[in-house]
Amino acid sequence: MKRAGSDAAVLKPAEHKSEGFKIYDTLSREISAVSASNGEFVRIYCCGPTVYRDAHVGNLRTFLLADLVQRTLAFAGVKSQLVQNITDVGHMSEDFEEDKIIAQSKLEKKDPFSVAREYEARFHQDCRALNIRAADSYPRASECIDLMIDSITKLIADGLAYQGEDGSVYFDAARFPSYGALSGNRLDALKPGHRYEFTEGGAKRFHADWALWKAAGSRSEMIWDTPWGRGFPGWHIECSAMSLKYLAGKVDLHIGGIDLRFPHHEDERAQSNSLIPGGGEAVTLWLHGEHLLFEGRKMSKSSGNVVLLSDVIARGIDPLAIRFCFMENRYRSQMDLSWSSIQAAHLTLERWRKSYQSWLKSPANLSERVNQLIAEIASAFNNDLDTPRAMISLRGIERGELEDGEKRALFEALDPLFGLDLLKQREAKRLTKEAEALLEKRKAARANRDFKLSDQVRDQLSLLGIEVRDTSEGQEWSWKIN
């Protein structure tokens, strides 16, 4: 369990009275107070990555949202518990032909579980590089199959789910009267043929029903035995089963990207509300982050404009420059990222850290106006994560008229809230002459089809902290993330 203020500032600012943390709730469409229903800690669930590829910085923008929520609560002395699932089975590709992980495992000629574990490890690396605090648990879908079987068994017993002629088990959407409340869709207005994660010719009773469990058919990997035969889980049931189990039957705040609002979260709400005793909402508040665009278009693999954190690092840019850019924009607005804004953020961060080092000559001074500024910034975070306003204040502090000791005290007090590592000197890594020569040597070895030499050089580069990959466009390299 996270302890409040576990990474408290070097200096403790004077007690500031928190007016309470509020966010925009997608279900009620209102700004609503975040609170701990058990009176002890706020229970948070954030939909995690599908581990068939590296998370792009758009995905990371959504994962950062959970971190900003946790830091805001911790700063006000409120405890929280965060669960984030790892989707390593059941998420079908856009054309619904194949499980994303299995499709990737065929491409990489590897076992699907090893593909999943590899990308999961890289997801954790990326989160660390962005100072995203670790969740309290990361349950994997493939290791929670029993939980899903229990949930589906209960839904069938209660008459909310049924097995179709094709052997798959479906949720009976018409049995959940408030279906559509989250996304604004109405069941009777949904057109037949709308995609619901799977194509299944006529086995569903109603076109809006969705698969909780999918019969294996010809699939031979990532399948399990169940009372309804061999198969694999649907993506939506995974999040209901895991959130209710790991957060003891109640989610105070559920987080995800805006594209998950429908159908993923709509279906999850129907399942979870049907699974908890006594009716009511299993999730109190739904928080959705808007999409990241890159150079004008939504960042996605299909748009071909994906930027990875390793691409940022490979350019010698501090990965926290990405965090900086995200915080300059409100989570609820689409934001357009570009290399020039990332570069500018990098330079500002460098300057702020240098400034902080120069203020160290003066003793930290927690004056009254310093406490006032801390309270104002905390209140911006509390106000539906108004991080752009908080960033403007921080800029003002660095450039403003305060004494050095006051500026020092402010940076020290606020660093745990912003998570920008303002108190450390961080050097951007540049390629050494030796590394440049080795990269050239490897390129030449590959051109000569001398793969033995190219593998040797790859190992030498690895010792220098450089990772090389061979793509259709040739050799690419990046710094390994620690």
Binding site for Zn ion (CB under 5 A): 47, 239
Q: How far apart are CA 91 and CA 236, in angstroms?
A: 9
Of 328, 287, 283, 382, the C-alpha closest to 24 is 287
CB atoms within 10 A of CB 201: 7
Do the Cβ atoms of 413 and 11 come closer than 8 Å?
yes
Give the separation between CA 112 and CA 370, rounded to whole angstroms: 53
83 to 102, contacts with ligand AMP by CB under 6 A?
A: 87
Task: Spell out a b/e string for 330-356, using b for 16 or more CB atoms within 10 Å of the CB, else e.
Answer: bbbeebebeeebbeebbebbbebbebb
Least CB distance to Zn ion at residue 84 (A): 9
320 interacts with ligand AMP by CB under 6 A: no
Interface stretch with ligand AMP, choices 29-37, 244-252, 285-293, 443-451 (CB under 6 A): 285-293
CB contact set of 298 (below 8 Å; sequence gap of 6+): 58, 291, 292
Residue 239 interacts with ligand AMP (CB under 6 A): yes or no: no
Per CB under 6 A, the segment of 67-75, 195-203, 215-223, 255-263 that binds ligand AMP is 255-263
Q: What DSSP string describes 139-166?
A: -BGGG-HHHHHHHHHHHHHTTSEEE-TT
Taking the least distance from each CB to ligand AMP, the nearer of 251 and 370 is: 251
* Stretch of 294-302, 314-322, 365-373, 401-409 contacting ligand AMP, by CB under 6 A: 294-302
User: Which residues 187-216 are close enough to bind ligand AMP by CB under 6 A?
Assistant: none
163 strand-pairing partners: 169
For residue 259, the partner it binds in Zn ion, ligand AMP, none, with Cβ less than 5 to 8 A by kind, is ligand AMP
Residue 37 Cα distances to 32, 79, 80, 302, 345, angstroms = 14, 12, 11, 40, 38
- Among ligand AMP, Zn ion, none, what does residue 239 contact (CB within 5–8 Å per kind)? Zn ion
The single-letter code of the amino acid at 324 is F
User: Judged by CB under 6 A, does residue 58 bind ligand AMP?
Assistant: yes
Nearer to Zn ion, 167 or 249 (CB): 249
Could you tell me the smallest distance in angstroms from the CB atom of residue 424 to Zn ion? 34
* Cβ proximity of 362 and 404 under 8 Å: yes
Q: How far apart are CB 331 and ligand AMP at their closest, in Å?
A: 9
Using the contact rule CB under 6 A, the part of the chain among 67-75, 174-182, 284-292, 466-474 near ligand AMP is 284-292
CA atoms of 374 and 255, how far apart (whole Å): 27
* Interaction of residue 257 with ligand AMP, rule CB under 6 A: yes
Report residue 69 CA to chain centroid gap: 12
| Bridge partners of residue 467, in order along the sequence | 478
How many residues does the structure list for the chain? 482
Q: Which stretch binds ligand AMP (CB under 6 A): 224-232, 246-254, 297-305, 465-473?
A: 297-305
Q: Is 208 helix (H, G, I), strand (E, B) or coil?
A: coil
- Residue closer to ligand AMP (CB basis): 274 or 329: 329
User: Which partner, Zn ion, ligand AMP, none, binds residue 2 by CB below 5 to 8 Å per kind?
Assistant: none
112 touches, from Zn ion, ligand AMP, none (C-beta below 5 to 8 Å by class): none
Phi, psi of 10 (to 5 degrees): -55, -45
Q: Number of helices and strands (H, E) in the chain?
A: 14, 15
Which one, 303 or 393, has the nearer CB to ligand AMP?
303
Q: Report if residue 233 touches ligand AMP, rule: CB under 6 A.
A: no
Query: Rounded to an integer, what distance in angstroms lies between the CA atom of residue 219 and that of residue 99?
Result: 10
Question: SS3 of 123, please?
Answer: helix
Residue 357: how many other CB atoms lie within 10 Å: 13
Of 90, 256, 319, 405, the one binding ligand AMP (CB under 6 A) is 256
Q: Which does 50 bind (CB under 5 to 8 A by kind): ligand AMP, Zn ion, none?
A: ligand AMP
The mark string for 28-57 relative to ligand AMP (x by CB under 6 A, - otherwise) is -------------------x-xx-------
Q: Which residues contact 10 (CB under 8 A, 6 or more apart)?
A: 364, 412, 423
Choose the one of Zn ion, ligand AMP, none that binds residue 152, judging by a C-beta under 5 to 8 angstroms depending on kind: none
> Is the Cβ of residue 66 or residue 247 nearer to ligand AMP in the bound state?
66
From the CB of 23, what's the least distance to ligand AMP, in Å?
Answer: 16
Q: Which among Zn ion, ligand AMP, none contacts residue 104 (Cβ within 5 to 8 A by kind)?
A: none
The CA-to-CA distance between both ends of the chain, in Å, stands at 25
Cβ closer to ligand AMP: 131 or 163? 131
SS3 395: helix
Site for ligand AMP in 379-398 (CB under 6 A): none
Q: Are 310 and 481 in contact (CB under 8 A)?
A: yes
Q: Which residues, at least 6 apart from 396, have a Cβ–Cβ distance to it below 8 Å?
A: none
| Closest CB to Zn ion among residues 47, 60 | 47
CA 188 to each of CA 204, 259, 284, 413, 450: distance values in angstroms, whole numbers, following the listed order:
16, 21, 26, 53, 64
Of 196-204, 218-226, 251-259, 369-377, the window that binds ligand AMP (rule: CB under 6 A) is 251-259
**Among ligand AMP, Zn ion, none, residue 271 binds (CB under 5-8 Å by kind):** none
By CB under 6 A, is residue 124 in contact with ligand AMP?
no
Minimum distance between the CB of residue 141 and ligand AMP, rounded to whole angstroms? Answer: 11
The residues of the shown chain that bind ligand AMP, judged by CB under 6 A, are: 47, 49-50, 58-59, 61-62, 87, 256-257, 259-260, 289, 291-292, 298-300
